[in-house]
Structure 1
Amino acid sequence: MLALVFGLNTNAYSSTNGNTSSSATHHVKKKFSTHAKTKAKTKKAAHRTVAVRKTHVSRHHRHSSRRIATRIPHVHRVALSPSSDTSVQRYAPSHPEAQIKHAALQSEVAYVQDMENSTVLYQKNSDEVRPIASISKLMTALIIAEAHQPLGDKLTITEDDVDRLRHSRSRLTVGTELSRADMLHLALMSSENRAAHALARNYPGGIPAFVRAMNDKARALGMRQTHFIEPTGLSSSNVSTPRDLVKLLVAVSKQPLIHRFTTDDHYEVAVGRRRQLFNNTNRLIRSPDWDIQISKTGFINEAGECLVMLTKIDRREVAIILLNSSGRYSRFGDAVRLRNLVERETNLAMM
């Protein structure tokens, strides 16, 4: 106790107690110094322990938050009930199955609509304007069908029909002669670019008039976010939105020839001296699980893998739009996942 008192003011103590030896003073100072250092070390260690605990808790909190955020993604969709409002709703965390389905889609843009009552069954980036690649050929086919040019007329593939933009391959060699009906068949079923270009080139007024007709028809159908600059879809400037493409599906569904040509599994034509077999680019056509009314695929680098269909699911006519999917077969897998989702929700609505 005296050491503590003396240590508070050593100079004052020395001046008032002159008979105290200098060794005593030195002993008090040394004892105080040792005590102060020990106390300071203890305090510093305590602060370090608290800091470590706080850091550990903070890291644990951050990791937990990250896990929760990964487990519960934000999903946008709308109710399946015909009487429901079609505004976008956000799923609560109590719908993990639908969230898993959303996360499993490989397509950047996805849209599903019930054609009977216009109810949106599913949507993901549905208002974005995107390149549509060979989906453009549906509009090409619609212009040809409504022009009522003779389907039996022979058209010839020329150098003008060769793809100079992307150098895509074609089995229709220069000089190949086919009927207008055969050209339309291959353009829709096998997405033959040279066939689509030949159809447009032989339209009254040629390619410029044909492209004008495509854009005029888009405006007439109310496709406000759609624009075409050529008939094949090889240009990334051919763009649209899922909602616009549903309007195109409705229009082409009224043409029996387009229904037939887009849903044929295969078709054989004479190319030169040989007959060649062409297959449908939509592998789902060959599946007995699907009842497809209209189908078209597409691909360029800027558009990714694309697929649009008018099909029946549980006796409901449904439009499915998938754009910019990654992977050769991912768009077909996404279509299956969306069909399963619609079927499950339909069953729940009937319970």
Structure 2
Amino acid sequence: MKKMMRFIRNIVLLAVVLSVALLVTGQSDWNVKELFSSGNSDGYASQHIYLLDRDSGKAVFEKDATSKAYPASLTKIMTTLVALEHIDDLSAGAPVDVQTYQAMVAQNASMAGFYGREAVTYRDLLYGTMLPSGGEAANSLAINVAGSREKFVRLMNEKAAALGMTKTHYSNPEGLHDPEQYTTAADMAKLLDHALGNQNFRAIFTKPAFTTTATADHPAGIQLKSTVLSSLHPEEQHGFTIIGGKSGTTYEAGQCWATLSTADGREYINVVMGAPLEDVSHPDFAQKRDTLKLLGQAVAGGFK
């Protein structure tokens, strides 16, 4: 009997201590549930979210938007922008770099489909970087623009600093995981908002598909498709239209999307990052569901 009373007393004491701790930290009863649940009480699988109304320049919705996150292939947004700012002629030749091509194959990176030394153009590499998220295209851009990956990455970090992306650092142009390559959802939205002011970038970012230049390796060119736009259907979009996007996926970064959409004459940038990924070969597209839900709520006035 004494042992039972002691057990009950300890349980009551623990409950009191926990209640006091929650009061001190300002957490509500809803937060108590979160302490004992791995689910997402806000209904979104993504750990980091930033939804920006481009017309007002204000955030419509935020979730842990300034905390460190890994960008995966959202990195290629910066890669594409920096490259565009240093290319004079998009039709000029820019052959695929053999060494980085082999490295991307060895690391099982996403590829556009080019071959080493293939005689493509800057335009081909830019679309290959953005639409199918080609690792060989991103690295070949870096080599052709700056002479080396290292020099190009310096340009990426200089651009991030110039844009005030204070919580962002780059270490490679393709987005393969590196603990020293990180950003935030808010920084990514800032970058994309700026990049869309570059008309060449906007054209690439919003292109559903593109056929590359005919080469000896690919006489008919390569048919490239946007990983984001090719996965969407009109009936999924109620009151808004997603017109451009970039995807990014690694186990460390989770499933990520950065999209541009229109609704009632307004443009929205939506960045979702860190949706859990259990099997890269069979993703559940939680980042897509979050994006559609967020935009649906935004146009319905759900965040006012």
TM-score normalised by the shorter chain: which range applies?
0.7 to 0.9
CA deviation vs aligned residue, 1:249-268 (integer Å, no higher than 9, x gap) = 11111111211212222222
Letter in 1 for 2:30: P
Letter in 2 for 1:220: A
Q: Give, in angstroms, the shift of residue 173 of structure 1.
A: 2.1
> 1:14 maps to which residue?
none
> Aligned in 2, Cα 1:202/1:287: closer, same or farther, shift over 3 Å?
same
Matches of 1:339 and 1:101 in 2, distance apart?
18
Q: Give, in angstroms, the shift of residue 147 of structure 1.
A: 1.2
Q: Does 1:266 align with 2:209?
A: yes
> Aligned in 2, Cα 1:345/1:102: closer, same or farther, shift over 3 Å?
farther
1:86-235 residue pairs with structure 2 within 5 A? Answer: 103-162=42-101, 163=103, 166-168=107-109, 170=111, 171-235=113-177
Specify which of 7, 10, 30 is matched with residue 73 of structure 1. 30
Q: Give, in angstroms, the shift of residue 284 of structure 1.
A: 6.5
> Aligned in 2, Cα 1:208/1:232: closer, same or farther, shift over 3 Å?
same
Q: Does 1:252 align with 2:195?
A: yes
Say which SS state the counterpart of residue 319 (structure 1) adopts.
strand
Confirm or deny: 8 A CA contact 1:285 1:292 kept in the other structure. no
Confirm or deny: 8 A CA contact 1:259 1:293 kept in the other structure. no
Q: Give, in angstroms, the shift of residue 274 of structure 1.
A: 4.5
> Aligned in 2, Cα 1:189/1:334: closer, same or farther, shift over 3 Å?
same
CA deviation vs aligned residue, 1:232-285 (integer Å, no higher than 9, x gap) = 111333211111112101111111121121222222234614433221110477
- Alignment TM-score, normalising by the size of structure 2: 0.76
Confirm or deny: 8 A CA contact 1:211 1:228 kept in the other structure. yes
> 2:270 maps to which residue?
320
Matches of 2:131 and 2:151 in 1, distance apart?
24
Letter in 1 for 2:76: K
Letter in 1 for 2:202: H
Identity %: 23
Say which SS state the counterpart of residue 103 (structure 1) adopts.
coil
CA deviation vs aligned residue, 1:81-106 (integer Å, no higher than 9, x gap) = xxxxxxxxxxxxxxxxxxx9953211
- Alignment TM-score, normalising by the size of structure 1: 0.67
> Aligned in 2, Cα 1:148/1:277: closer, same or farther, shift over 3 Å?
closer
Letter in 2 for 1:105: Y
Matches of 2:71 and 2:199 in 1, distance apart?
23
Confirm or deny: 8 A CA contact 1:258 1:294 kept in the other structure. no
> 1:277 maps to which residue?
223
Matches of 2:218 and 2:259 in 1, distance apart?
35
> Aligned in 2, Cα 1:344/1:284: closer, same or farther, shift over 3 Å?
farther
Say which SS state the counterpart of residue 186 (structure 2) adopts.
helix
- Structure 2 stretches of 5 or more lacking a match? 20-28, 33-38, 278-282
Confirm or deny: 8 A CA contact 1:111 1:122 kept in the other structure. yes
Which one has a larger percent helix, Structure 1 or Structure 2? 1
CA deviation vs aligned residue, 1:45-104 (integer Å, no higher than 9, x gap) = xx9xxx8xx99xx9xx9xxx9xxxxxx7359xxxxxxxxxxxxxxxxxxxxxxxx99532
Letter in 2 for 1:134: S
Matches of 1:156 and 1:235 in 2, distance apart?
25
Confirm or deny: 8 A CA contact 2:50 2:271 kept in the other structure. yes
Q: Quick check: which has more Rg, 1 or 2?
A: 1
Quick check: 132-141 or 310-319, which moved more?
Answer: 310-319
Q: Give, in angstroms, the shift of residue 341 of structure 1.
A: 1.5
Letter in 2 for 1:129: K
CA deviation vs aligned residue, 1:1-30 (integer Å, no higher than 9, x gap) = xxxxxxxxxxxxxxxxxxxxxxxxxxxxxx
Confirm or deny: 8 A CA contact 1:132 1:323 kept in the other structure. yes
- Higher RCO, 1 vs 2 (CA within 8 Å, ≥6 residues apart): 2
Letter in 2 for 1:222: G
- Structure 1 stretches of 5 or more lacking a match? 1-43, 66-71, 76-99
Letter in 1 for 2:146: P
Matches of 1:101 and 1:264 in 2, distance apart?
33
What do you get for the CA RMSD once the two structures are aligned?
3.2
Q: Give, in angstroms, the shift of residue 308 of structure 1.
A: 0.8
Q: Does 1:295 align with 2:249?
A: no
Letter in 1 for 2:223: L
